[in-house]
Amino acid sequence: MSQNASTSQLTSWQEGWLNWLRAERNYADHTLDGYARDVEIYLSFLHANGGTYTPPDRHDFRAFLASQQADDLGHATLARRVSAVRNFYRFGVRNGYLGDTDISWMKPPKRPHVIPKDLPQTDIKDILRIIETSGQPEWQQKRDIGFLMLLYGCGLRLSEALSLTAADIPLSNWLQITGKGGKTRDVPVLKAVADAVEDAAKACPFQPEGGESFWRSNRGGPLNARAVQRMVEAIRLKLGLPAHVTPHTLRHAFATHLLAGGGDLRAIQQLLGHASLSTTQRYTHVDSDQLLNVHKQTHPRAK
């Protein structure tokens, strides 16, 4: 096969794969961008190191993993990168871009057992309180409070909270969320959350309509993830909170506080939109004192 033909086939393969993920798997744009970038990084590594993309080679793959770990790539990012590459090759096998090839060995290194960091309720109260004294325009204060209340009160991912549209306002008792892989779930909305979001809507000088993004930036355009991350980072620095505190920490706090209060693990799994219960078990670690407390209060033999 000539170099031009090989390049043409690879381009067709990549485009077909991304179109399939978009049309058949309903992947969000940011997920598609990440997957495309991950596969491009892998292919670039092969090209730079004399490897071949077809058929896939175990030694090349292991060398790639070693290079990524040498760059101090986080385990979650590396696992996603391997998932993208494996998905790419599976599509290639199914659609005739390479023969019947075993790719079951394409696995990331084992995940180290890391307990997610918790955020005490007192810190969450401090975060909301400091927004009220930030000195920024009132509508921006109400927007930031409403947004963070949505993350913590409903356990949403950052992208899920940003996907709220003007048509979703005012919030009802339940909010339908489209999560990873296009899967939908219904999340209960606390009155305090609905009220905070409603306050943000009334105070906002910009009035989006219908399917337009509800959350507005300081200049009136759709609010983006980086702006929220910067906002939380600024608050974290002001309060002297640990470096692990990010918008996602509020979703984790939602889960840990529910579990600490005696919440059912499978119910929390559904609220978070986790496909696997093991993910929820890792995600909702609470300290042993809290678990012992709940056990004493709820177990029939403890009464």
Amino acid identity for residue 174 in this structure = W
Alpha carbons 185 and 270: distance in angstroms, whole number: 7
The secondary structure of residue 105, as a DSSP letter, is T
Nearest one of 115, 130, 119 to 254, comparing CA atoms: 119
SS3 213: strand
Nearest one of 189, 190, 206, 209 to 142, comparing CA atoms: 206
Alpha carbons 148 and 124: distance in angstroms, whole number: 9
Q: How far is CA 67 from CA 60, 70, 78, 175, in A?
A: 11, 5, 11, 43
Helix axis angle, 29-48 relative to 75-94, nearest 10°?
A: 90
- Give catalytic residue positions: 157, 180, 248, 251, 274, 283
The secondary structure of residue 181, as a DSSP letter, is G
Strand locations in the chain (E): 174-178, 184-188
Can you state the percent helix, strand and coil of the chain, rounding each to 5? Answer: 60, 5, 35
Determine contact, residues 46/57, Cβ cutoff 8 Å.
no
